[in-house]
Amino acid sequence: MRTRRVTARTALAAVICTVALIGGTTTPASAASGTALPSASYRDLVVDDVHDRVFISDPSGSSVVVTDYAGQVLKQITLENGAAGLAISPDSSTVYVALSSADAISAIDTGTLTETNRYQTGAGTSPQSLALADGKIWFSHGATGQAGIGSLELSGSGPVITLNQSSGWYYAPALASSPADPNMLVAGDHGLSPATLAVYDANADGLQQRVQRTFYDAPSMSDLNDFAVTPDGRNIVTANGTPYRHQVVSTSDLTENGSYPTDAYPNAVAIAPDGTVAAGGNGSLLYVFRAGASAPLRTYSPGLQFAAGLAWAADDNLLFAVTGDYLGAQPTLHVLVDAGKAQSALTLQAPSTAVKGNPLHVTGTLSANDPFGSGTTVEVTATDARTPGGVSIGSFPVAADGTFQFTARPRVTGQVTYTVRYTGDDQHTGATAQVTVEVTK
């Protein structure tokens, strides 16, 4: 925490002290520290909200690394040949792994962290991306120029693999789905200019295309790196090499439906259950937006972000980001706590001196990128030579413009420190600020 003090003279010739808690409402927060993963590369991550674990795939090292929510590595599951795309079952009991080098999909038990099944997808299929829809596991597969989408069905007496339910893709496309529309499957071709997205209806008859579009213009999109479906299933937020913003298109007709102003080379996006959007880029800042907002709630500078390297925990306020070097190696996991909350800041103004027993007036401001609700209060304590452990002054309301004030009567001479605390809420982080006054007789 950094503090700064500014002095000015009042009409009474009293020096006014201002103390501010600098909280990152405009300044990017550093996310340089993180957990270096025992991986050779990075491809995908999913979050297990039941066991509070994160699963991270490593295709070059043929492994899946598992961490807890603090980023501590719990296990590296090996022999996961060419581990690529990941998907987690609705009950969080199983993580499915696309084994691009083994022409298979493996199933990992999230409780024991061991592989329990392996389903062969066919010679040369090289499965890449996974998504769940209509009770099936959908996977992209095939060689460059001959890629398609297949399914793995596990509901019957034995596994059923069906290939090429959608064909004509140049690369094995990235896949995504939405619990709000359990039969919807979204696919997007990586790395092509212009980019292509398709929305399908997944049902007992396979895949029926709802809409497909190649984005030559209005909006134009090139080099698709990542995309995510909003929690209501109505929109897709994309991360493309160009343009330099995260674009939004409707799932109904793939028409433009807004954008999030970000930075150069967008390459990652993740959306929390409440709609909060995390938007990253190759070497640029990591932005967090409220759904539909034009200005970021928070920004971070984690370093070089990997494509598709973002995921939220279900509580909306814990964000995981994977970074590394320009060669796609040295993956590092960053755990960003309270990422879905606006960062609060407090400033205080008080005379630098006061007379024992006389009224001492302190004013302050509570600020954040999100407005505070009615009924917001701050708690104040005073610490002096008589009460070194501090004594409560009371709880004071914050006005609609963020200002507040309180009056104290210092009881002893010497220094008295007033500590103001805002405890935070489900939309804002807490904040603390202090100001010290010299009390005379």
Whole-number Å distance between alpha carbons of 103 and 205 = 24
**Residue % of the chain over a pLDDT of 70:** 93
* Full set of structural domains in the chain with CATH: 3-25+343-440 (2.60.40.730), 29-336 (2.130.10.10)
Average pLDDT over residues 283-303: 92
The HSE-up count of residue 63 (CA atoms within 13 Å, CB side) is 13
pLDDT digits (tens, 9 = 90+) for 418-435: 999 999 999 999 999 999
The pTM (predicted TM-score) of the whole model is 0.89
pLDDT of residue 283: 73
Count of other CB atoms within 10 angstroms of residue 73: 17
pLDDT digits (tens, 9 = 90+) for 238-265: 999 999 999 999 999 999 999 999 999 9
Nearest to 207 by CA among 233, 230, 175: 175
Whole-number Å distance between alpha carbons of 53 and 56 = 10
pLDDT digits (tens, 9 = 90+) for 330-389: 999 999 999 999 999 999 999 999 999 999 999 999 999 999 999 999 999 999 999 999
pLDDT of residue 98: 98
Whole-number Å distance between alpha carbons of 395 and 387 = 19
294 burial type by CB count under 10 A (0-12 exposed, 13-18 middle, 19+ buried): exposed
pLDDT, the chain, mean:
91
Average pLDDT over residues 30-46: 87
Contact 129, 152 (CB under 8 A): no
Band (pLDDT 50/70/90 cuts) for residue 13 is very low
pLDDT of residue 3: 28
pLDDT of residue 183: 96
pLDDT digits (tens, 9 = 90+) for 108-134: 999 999 999 999 999 999 999 999 999
Residue 157 has pLDDT above 60, yes or no: yes
Average pLDDT over residues 263-274: 95
Q: Which of 4-18, 167-181, 320-334 has the lowest mean pLDDT?
A: 4-18
pLDDT of residue 22: 32
pLDDT digits (tens, 9 = 90+) for 398-425: 999 999 999 999 999 999 999 999 999 9
pLDDT of residue 265: 92
Residue 18 has pLDDT above 80, yes or no: no
Tell me the C-alpha to C-alpha distance, in Å, between residue 282 and each of 45, 196, 405: 17, 21, 45
pLDDT of residue 28: 66
117-120 LR contacts (CB < 8 Å, sep 24+):
119/152, 119/159, 119/161, 120/161
Tell me the C-alpha to C-alpha distance, in Å, between residue 237 and each of 73, 247, 348: 30, 6, 40
